[in-house]
A and B are shown apart, each in its own frame.
Chain A
Amino acid sequence: MRLSSLEYLSPRNVKGILNVLSEHGREAAILAGGTDLLVKMKHRLIRPRLVVDLGMVDKLRYVKWDKKGLRIGAGTKLYEIIQSDSIKAKFPSLSQAASSVASPQIRNMGTVGGNICLDTRCWFYNQSHWWRKAIEPCFKVGGNVCHVARGGDRCWALFMADTPPAFLALDANVKIASKSGERTIPLSQFYTGKGKSPNVLKQDELVTELIVSKNGYKSSYVRFSFREAIDFPVIGVSASLLLEDGAIRDCRIVFTGVGSSPVRASATEEILKGKGVEEAVIEKAAKEASSEIRPISHMEIPALYKRKLGGAMVKKAIKKALEEVDG
C-alpha cells in the first residue's frame, strides 16, 4: 500500500512546527511516531499535502519533575515512559498504560502526544480505500449513515487509546501551543465525546506537554483485549485512589473503549468515596460501573457483554491499585 506523494518538512524547533501549521493549516499533518498517521494515509482516510515531522525537535522529548509535579513532553516515546523509574514509582498507572500499547516496535515509535490525540476507531472506518468503496460513506468520512448504529444520527466510532484514561484519572493538564500563544487546559476538556472529531485541537495547534500534579494517589491501569499484543483494548480502566486511615478519601475511575471519548465513571467514584477498602465496597462499585457505562454493540462485542466486562475490569483496576500499597 503506497503513500500518496507529499511534501516533507522537519523543523528543528517548536516555533518552526507552529509556523508550518499556521501557514498550511488543513493541508498539513503532524507526524510524531507515524504509527497511526501513516496507516491512515495509506488507507486514504486522510490525504495531507504536507507532513511536518516532530522527530527533529528534541525539546519535545523529556520526562521531568518540578514543583508542579510531572511534566512529559508530547514527543516522548512510549517506551521512555515505561523506562522511567520515577513514573513507575509515583504513577504506576501511566507506566502500565504505556506498556499495554500495541507492540514493542510501536511503543518504540509512538509518542505520548500521539496517544493522547489518537483518533476514534471503527471497523467500518479503519479500512482501505478499496474496502470502503463497497459501502456507503459513513459520518466519519463525511457521509450521513452509521454502519454500527443503524439509523443513528451521529458517528459512534470508539476511543480506544490506553494512556488517556490513566492521565485523566490523575487529573492531568495538557499544554497546547499555536503561533498565537499557549494554553493549558484540563485533559478532561480536551475530549469532545464526538466520534467524528474526538478532540478540541485546531488545525494550527500542537499538543506540547502533559502535566500531572497529583500527589499521594495509588493508581493502576488494566485492560482486556482479545490478543495480548498488537490489539486495541475492548475495555481499559484506570483507577486512582487517595487513602487516609484505611478509607478511600478521593478516587477517579476512567474508562477507555466504551464511548467516543474516555469516560469517567462519577457515580462509581461516589460509591467508593469515604468507604473503607473492603471487598463488599469494591463489589458494589463494580456493579455500579456496569450500569453506569453506556456502551453500544460494536461488531462482535455486544453492549451487554461490555457492561459486565466493565464491572469486572473496575474491580481488577481497584485491586491492582491497592496492591501498590502492600507491595
Chain B
Amino acid sequence: MKRILRLMVNGREYEVAVSPHRTLLKVLREELGLIGAKEGCDLGSCGACTVIIDGKPVLSCLTLACSCEGKEILTIEGISSEGKLHPLQDNFMKYGAVQCGYCTPGMIMSAKSLLDENPNPSELDARRAISGNLCRCTGYVKIVEAILATKG
C-alpha cells in the first residue's frame, strides 16, 4: 500500500505517494522529475546515484524512500543557486572532467561533501573522496584536477 511521504529535497518540500519498496533514486527520478542522480549498477558499487543526505554522501539506490522522511536531501539539481553554477560544476567544465557525463552528478556530490568538510584537501583526500564513484571513461585525472582547483 502506498504511503504519503514528505520529502525535503533541495530545500523544497514535496508530498508524494510512494510504495514502500521504492528506492529514493526511483522516487527522485520518476516521481519528482529530478533525473540528475543516475542509475548505474543499482547495487551500490558505482556511485552514480550518490546524493547528500543530512550532509553525508550516500547511495540513493540502496536507500528506501520511506526512510528519508524528516531528512535533508540534496541532489545535483540543488547545488547551483540563482542560475549560477556551483564552483565545482564550473571547474568540471573548465578542466574537461566530463566525458560521457554519466558519473558526473555522483562525482560532484562526493566532491562537494569533501570540500564542505575539508576546504583544503590534498590530492589523496580527493582521490579517497571519490573512491566510491566509478568513471567508466576512466577520466579520473581531470576529475581530481577539477576538485583541487575548487578548493579553499
A residues with CB within 8 A of B = 1-8, 10, 31, 34-35, 38-39, 42, 51, 53, 55, 79, 102-106, 108-109, 228-230
Q: Which of A6, A31, A108, A230 contacts B58 (CB 8 A)?
A: A108
Q: How far is the CA of A39 from the CA of B132 in the complex (A)?
A: 16
Q: A3-B21, A4-B21, A35-B62 are in contact. Are A104 and B129 (CB under 8 A)?
A: yes
Q: Closest CB-CB distance, B44 to chain A, in whole Å?
A: 6
Chain B interface size, as a band, is 20 to 34
Given contacts A39-B62, A53-B64, A106-B59, 12 further A-B contacts (CB under 8 A): A3-B22, A5-B20, A6-B21, A8-B66, A10-B67, A39-B44, A53-B67, A55-B67, A103-B133, A104-B110, A104-B128, A104-B131
Cβ of B47 < 8 Å from any Cβ of A?
yes
Complex: chain A residue closest to B50, CB-CB: A105
Cβ of B43 < 8 Å from any Cβ of A?
yes
B20 touching A106 by the CB < 8 A rule? no
Q: Closest CB-CB distance, B89 to chain A, in whole Å?
A: 20
B43 touching A1 by the CB < 8 A rule? yes
A106 touching B66 by the CB < 8 A rule? no
In the bound complex, residues from chain B placing their C-beta under 8 Å from that of A106 are 44, 59, 132
12 A-B residue pairings within 8 Å (CB atoms) = A8-B20, A10-B67, A35-B44, A38-B62, A39-B44, A51-B64, A103-B133, A104-B57, A104-B110, A104-B129, A106-B44, A109-B63
Complex: chain A residue closest to B65, CB-CB: A8
A103 touching B47 by the CB < 8 A rule? yes
Q: A1-B42, A104-B57 are in contact. Are A34 and B131 (CB under 8 A)?
A: no
Q: Closest CB-CB distance, A17 to chain B, in whole Å?
A: 14
Cβ of B151 < 8 Å from any Cβ of A?
no
B132 touching A105 by the CB < 8 A rule? yes
In the bound complex, residues from chain A placing their C-beta under 8 Å from that of B19 are 5
A8 touching B3 by the CB < 8 A rule? yes
B62 touching A230 by the CB < 8 A rule? no
Query: Between A and B, how many residue pairs show CB distances below 8 Å?
Result: 84
A31 touching B132 by the CB < 8 A rule? no
The 6 closest A-B CB pairs, nearest first, are A103-B132, A229-B131, A8-B20, A3-B21, A108-B56, A105-B132
Complex: chain A residue closest to B113, CB-CB: A104
Residues 50-72 of B at the A interface (beta carbon under 8 Å): 50, 56-59, 61-64, 66-67
Q: Closest CB-CB distance, A318 to chain B, in whole Å?
A: 26
Q: A3-B21, A3-B23, A38-B23 are in contact. Are A230 and B131 (CB under 8 A)?
A: yes
Q: A35-B62, A105-B50, A105-B59 are in contact. Are A42 and B22 (CB under 8 A)?
A: no
Q: Max chain B CB contacts within 10 Å: which of A5, A105, A228, A229?
A: A105
Complex: chain A residue closest to B51, CB-CB: A105
Q: Closest CB-CB distance, A104 to chain B, in whole Å?
A: 5
Q: How far is the CA of A10 from the CA of B64 in the complex (A)?
A: 12
Q: Closest CB-CB distance, B39 to chain A, in whole Å?
A: 9
Q: How far is the CA of A5 from the CA of B103 in the complex (A)?
A: 29
Q: Closest CB-CB distance, A225 to chain B, in whole Å?
A: 12
Q: A3-B21, A3-B22, A42-B42 are in contact. Are A108 and B67 (CB under 8 A)?
A: no
Cβ of B120 < 8 Å from any Cβ of A?
no
Q: Closest CB-CB distance, A107 to chain B, in whole Å?
A: 9
Cβ of B80 < 8 Å from any Cβ of A?
no
Q: A105-B110, A228-B131 are in contact. Are A39 and B67 (CB under 8 A)?
A: no
Complex: chain B residue closest to A79, CB-CB: B56
Complex: chain A residue closest to B3, CB-CB: A8
Q: A3-B21, A104-B110, A105-B132 are in contact. Are A39 and B64 (CB under 8 A)?
A: no
Complex: chain A residue closest to B42, CB-CB: A1
Q: A53-B66, A102-B132, A230-B45 are in contact. Are A108 and B21 (CB under 8 A)?
A: no
Q: How far is the CA of A230 from the CA of B136 in the complex (A)?
A: 15
- Per-residue contact bits, chain B 87-118, to A (CB 8 Å; 1 contact, 0 not): 00000000000000000000000100000000
